[in-house]
Amino acid sequence: MFSMKSKHFVVPFLAALMMFTPYQSVETEVDASKEDTSLNHELDQILQNEKLNGALAGISIRLAETGEVLYEKNADVRLKPASNMKLFSGAAAMETLGPDYTFQTEVWADGDIKGNKLHGDLYLKGKGDPTLMVEDLDAMAQSLKEAGVREVKGDLIADDTWYDDVRLSEDISWNDETRYYGSQISALTVSPNEDYDAGTVIVAAYPSEKEGEPAQIELTPETDYVQVVNQTETVPADGEKDVTIERKHGTNQIIVEGTIPTEGSRSRSWIAVSEPTGLALELFKQSLTKQGIKVKGDMEIHGNTPADSELMVSKESMALEDIYIPFMKLSNNGHAEVLVKEMGKRVHDEGSWEKGLEVVEDYMSDIGIESDTLRLRDGSGMSHVNMIPAHEISELLYQVQDKDWFPAYLNSLPVAGNSERFVGGTIRSRMQDTAAQNNVKAKTGSLTGVSSLSGYVTTADGETLIFALVFNNYLDDVEDIEDEIAVTLAEHHLAPSE
């Protein structure tokens, strides 16, 4: 068995751990029961912004030390949380699986090995690893070669039965199905780079050297599993750059069309493939070929590894706490859905959304969240049918502080104004040069007409606050309102007790 940890994440993760330790209780004496009229006034004024006319704002602010509510507005109203849903699935997965949990990918042989030939079938079995890459498949193929295998007389078969065969959560919209953030979920899937957007390929268009020629297309990883149709044209340097990259629904045909200037920069898109299990199998076949291992039979997806097969190679993923860096910092939807299915598999022996969400709801009830007021439809927050009150978000963030995995959970949250991509994450360019910079640690959420920001902030007098901000049904961008509230909290001096 071998384990591969990406250098790309180890350094940022260790840096995050060193920079941000768990919040400690401070000895500032604060009377939370005494109304902080200045804070109430400031927040009420911010929420008078005309962008919120006709919209809903759910706000809940608590003392981190006691959980007492300092400010609330529509805090018991169920609202769409967008990716704040990941706070719930992420906490449940940390509790259920643990920060040291790893995913396995295995190669099994069904048949006898005589000489350097496997007289039978070879199975690639996935167990949910969302960080599997071509380099890992190459290493597995090399291990198989070192075990003496040079030829497979039978078929090459993919086994993704660790999870069910439902690829998309029930509320994914038609428009999102081909986007990286709506990728299909499989127990056997490959990521194109170290953002770990599993089940996608990266399509990049570069200008040709000559006007009138098609753009040069680069595919990562290189594969024939998708068909790229190049309908682009390179235009003069002062021409318009207008390139679209789309996958045709129901196929793996990717249409690249439009114009790109000779001196223009590349156009690049992450495209979710149709049936990611097949892509993983195709890439493993390439890895075997690179190692000089021949497969005489056919390729088959959706096989089931026989019980009497022999384990040949096992690949272990990075630990869950390391996966949480791209998961939470970059708000990776696929990771959230894999975690839901993995919880279902581990607790109920069924890798499905239904059983996984049951685990999430049960955990919420266990820690005092009013699960009866929640509607959970996925792990990522992509569903417009998810409904969570702001009070339950802030209550969750209060309850998890005493968990032994909380340091990893906290360090996975994006950090305001920190330009390091795997530290600042989705708020790396927000709240810069304010009291919130390198202070606010919070999860973002965004859907059409939905925005959320929830996490932790230290006030001017050193007291830690928990905040949950959820906005629904607005017509204009409201991130500036979220930022203004977060900065106000960071600058605030809490009313001292008398």
β pairing state of 242-247 and 253-261: antiparallel
Q: Is residue 447 within 8 Å of 489, Cβ to Cβ? A: no
β pairing state of 156-159 and 299-300: parallel
Alpha helices by DSSP H, 274-389: 276-290, 320-329, 333-348, 353-366
Q: Is residue 62 within 8 Å of 465, Cβ to Cβ? A: yes
Nearest-CA neighbor of 295 among 124, 156, 143?
156
Q: Is residue 395 within 8 Å of 406, Cβ to Cβ? A: no
Look at the chain and count its residues: 498
Half-sphere exposure of 8 (CA within 13 A, CB side): 13
Give the bridge partners for 18, in sequence order.
none
Cα torsion 94, 96, 100, 106: sign: negative
**315's tokens:** 């690949």
State whether residue 431 is helix, strand or coil. Answer: coil
DSSP category for residue 437:
T
Residue written as token pair 């591969």: 4
| Residue 487 to residue 285: CA distance in whole angstroms | 52
| Peptide bond connecting 326 to the previous residue in cis, omega within 30 degrees of 0 | no
Q: Treating both helix axes as pointing N-terminal to C-terminal, what angle do 353-366 and 333-348 enclose, rounded to 10 degrees?
A: 80
Q: Is residue 22 within 8 Å of 406, Cβ to Cβ? A: yes
310: exposed, middle or buried (Cβ count in 10 Å: 0-12, 13-18, 19+) = middle
| Residue 328 to residue 307: CA distance in whole angstroms | 37
Question: Catalytic positions, please?
Answer: 83, 86, 331
Q: Is residue 184 within 8 Å of 272, Cβ to Cβ? A: yes
Residue written as token pair 């997965």: 93
